[in-house]
């Protein structure tokens, strides 16, 4: 948690950030950081402040209080574009892809490689297809045909394409917003594998999820949010999976819920 100067600076770091919307405290005094080549999991139930934190990190919102540092420097992003320029890429749940367009068209959408001189300047299609095939293969993604429309990919494959796109376009920090939430067990496993692939390429990954079973196998550190506050930051070596599950569910609340449910199920029977 200690901010270090110079070369030892964290890739990105938030230091006691808070965000108020009017009189609603969405986030309060959150501190966290991520370095290249590590996965930090941000866990929390609905309403815990996960999406507010993402929006601060990705440049959509500015924190009301606290500092946001990139490479040890204070930053104030005014748009997601600013964040992207510093290498902070966010992969949202809706992925920003057009289902009826092919993989290579989607991959380069908005940043098309060009060749030739005006007025004959054109999209370098051959380069685009080859790059997509190569990049996806390096991520260990086995794509059948770059001409396939994105709509024909499975949910996990789409996440993978979005992740490799962000990495290809120079992301140093990858913020993944619930990438596994809409997926089945097997598909989620595939996405977790791609998260590790990105980490192995030196990218710092912030993995936002409400599922501790997805977070624990890939995370190096865990930040647990509850009702806008941090319940603490844990290193994996000092945390067991069931402990994480308990923390994440709000510990005592879960126990209370179990009692309540026990009451309901035994109720009509008696």
Partner 1 sequence: MAVETAPHQLPDERLARVGFVAQLLKRPEIGSLFGVVAVFFLFVSTGHGFSSTGFGSLAGAASWSDEASLIGIMAVPVALLMIGGEFDLSAGVMIGSSGILFALLTVDHHWNVWPAFAVVMLFGLAIGFINGMLVMTTKLPSFIVTLATFFVLQGLNLGGLFSVTGKVYVPGVDTTSGYAFARKIFASTVWSPYDFQIRVFWCIAITAIGTWVLTRTRVGNWIFSVGGDATAARNVGVPVLGTKVALFMATSTLAALSGVMRTLQLREIEGAAGIGLEFEFIIAAVVGGCLLTGGYGSAIGATMGAIIMGMTTTGIVFAGWNSDFHFLFLGVILLLAVLLNTAIRRRAEAAR
CB nearer to partner 1: give 106 or 226: 106
How many angstroms separate the CA atoms of 176 and 173, rounded? 10
Size of the site for partner 1 (CB under 8 A): 39
- Sheet harboring 173-177: ordered strands across? 73-74, 65-70, 12-21, 24-34, 229-235, 221-226, 39-44, 204-209, 173-177, 88-91
- Binding to partner 1 (CB under 8 A): which residues in 147-206? 149, 151-155, 197, 200-201
Check binding of 60 to partner 1 (CB under 8 A).
no
CB nearer to partner 1: give 8 or 99: 99
**Placement of tokens 């067991």 in the chain:** 240
How many angstroms separate the CA atoms of 10 and 252, rounded? 34
- Binding to partner 1 (CB under 8 A): which residues in 6-25? none
Check binding of 145 to partner 1 (CB under 8 A).
yes
CB nearer to partner 1: give 43 or 91: 91
**Which member of 57, 97, 103, 225 binds partner 1 (CB under 8 A)?**
97
CB nearer to partner 1: give 1 or 114: 114
How many Cα atoms within 13 Å fall on the side-chain side of residue 61?
19
* Torsions phi, psi for 51 (to 5 deg): -70, -30
Identify which range of 96-104, 204-212, 235-243, 255-263 contacts partner 1 by CB under 8 A.
Answer: 96-104
Check binding of 142 to partner 1 (CB under 8 A).
yes
Check binding of 96 to partner 1 (CB under 8 A).
yes
**Which member of 65, 79, 144, 262 binds partner 1 (CB under 8 A)?**
144
Shortest separation between residue 149's beta carbon and partner 1, angstroms: 5
**Which member of 16, 62, 67, 133 binds partner 1 (CB under 8 A)?**
133
Shortest separation between residue 144's beta carbon and partner 1, angstroms: 5
Distances (CA, A) of 44 to 188, 209, 250: 18, 7, 9
Shortest separation between residue 105's beta carbon and partner 1, angstroms: 6
Which residues contact partner 1 by CB under 8 A? 80-81, 92, 94-101, 105, 108-112, 114, 121-123, 125, 133-134, 137-138, 140, 142, 144-145, 149, 151-155, 197, 200-201
């Amino acid at each position: 948690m200690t901010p270090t100067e110079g070369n030892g600076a964290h890739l990105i770091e938030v230091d006691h950030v808070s965000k108020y919307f009017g009189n609603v405290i969405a986030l309060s005094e959150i501190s966290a950081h991520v370095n290249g080549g590590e996965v930090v999991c941000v866990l929390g139930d609905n309403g815990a402040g996960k999406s507010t934190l993402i929006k601060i990190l990705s440049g959509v919102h500015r924190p009301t209080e606290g500092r946001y540092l990139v490479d040890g420097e204070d930053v104030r992003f005014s748009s997601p574009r600013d964040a992207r320029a510093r290498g902070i890429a966010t992969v949202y749940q809706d992925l920003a892809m057009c289902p009826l367009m092919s993989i290579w068209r989607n991959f380069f959408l908005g940043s098309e490689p060009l060749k030739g001189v005006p007025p004959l300047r054109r999209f370098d299609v051959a380069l685009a297809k080859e790059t997509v095939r190569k990049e996806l293969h390096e991520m260990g993604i086995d794509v059948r045909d770059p001409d396939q429309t994105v709509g024909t990919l499975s949910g996990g494959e789409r996440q993978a394409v979005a992740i490799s796109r962000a990495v290809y376009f120079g992301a140093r920090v990858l913020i993944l917003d619930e990438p596994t939430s809409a997926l089945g067990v097997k598909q989620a496993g595939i996405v977790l594998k791609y998260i590790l692939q990105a980490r192995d390429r030196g990218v710092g990954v912030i993995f936002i999820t409400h599922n501790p079973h997805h977070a624990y196998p890939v995370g190096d550190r865990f930040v647990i949010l509850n009702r806008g506050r941090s319940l603490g930051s844990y290193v994996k070596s000092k945390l067991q999976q069931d402990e994480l599950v308990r923390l994440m569910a709000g510990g005592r609340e879960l126990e209370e819920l179990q009692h309540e449910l026990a009451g309901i199920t035994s109720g009509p029977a008696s």
